[in-house]
A = this chain, B = another copy of it.
């Protein structure tokens, strides 16, 4: 038997692993991802993954970062000529859209950017755009944080989907105002999107009041 000239093409790569892990997370949930199942989906044995990632957690981090990378940041570019408020509005929607395409990975994303490049790029863009718009650094940090709270909170658990679809679960003597709550689950998307838009508008309206107080009222110089 002749010797191989070189080890033939590797069966695995970081990208292939991340892609397969993402698909598994999306279709079966975070809890369904085990190193053995993921490896099987890739046609290899479990321990092979450890040649490319140090831990299973690092794989999930990479999946989360791939989702962060899909968030549109173009509205924050200096050349875009956007005011801070409308940029924040569009970015929040883009962020929420990215997360709602892959809701199962949100708990991993909630751990924060850490050392994930795409997560850090998001934080960098928001902070940069807010300071550029005249917000003091401490306020720019707070805006990045509070927007993250709201967007992540809306993605980590659906409001409407958190209620069971069973009228008997809402005894009127215990919960006098929840007589219609059993209808929430089937209007899930509508309810959650309405709440997100209402909350986002309120948040931006409230911040605009603060920004006016900062730069002086529009009519008062």
A interface with B by C-beta (< 8 Å): 107, 110-115, 117, 120-121, 123-125, 127-128, 131, 137-139, 141-146, 148-154, 156-164, 169-170, 174-178, 180-181, 184, 191-192, 194-196, 198-199, 201-207, 209-210
Contacts and interface: CB of A to CB of B under 8 A. Distances in A.
20 contacts: A110-B157, A114-B162, A114-B163, A114-B164, A120-B170, A124-B174, A124-B176, A127-B177, A128-B177, A144-B159, A145-B159, A145-B191, A148-B153, A149-B196, A151-B153, A152-B153, A153-B156, A156-B156, A198-B210, A202-B203
Nearest to A184: B141
Secondary structure at the A interface, as helix, strand, loop or mixed, is helix
A139 B180 CA distance: 14
Number of copies of this chain that the complex holds: 2
Contacts of A127: 177-178
B150 A150 contact: yes
Across the A-B interface, the 5 shortest Cβ-Cβ residue pairs = A112-B162, A153-B153, A202-B206, A146-B199, A145-B195
B204 A112 contact: no
Nearest to A153: B153
Contacts of A159: 112, 144-145, 148-149
Nearest to A169: B115
Could you say which of A131, A151, A181 has the most chain B C-beta atoms within 10 Å of its C-beta? A181
A75 to B, nearest CB: 16
Contacts of A177: 124-125, 127-128, 131
Contact of A156 (B121, B152, B180, B209): B152
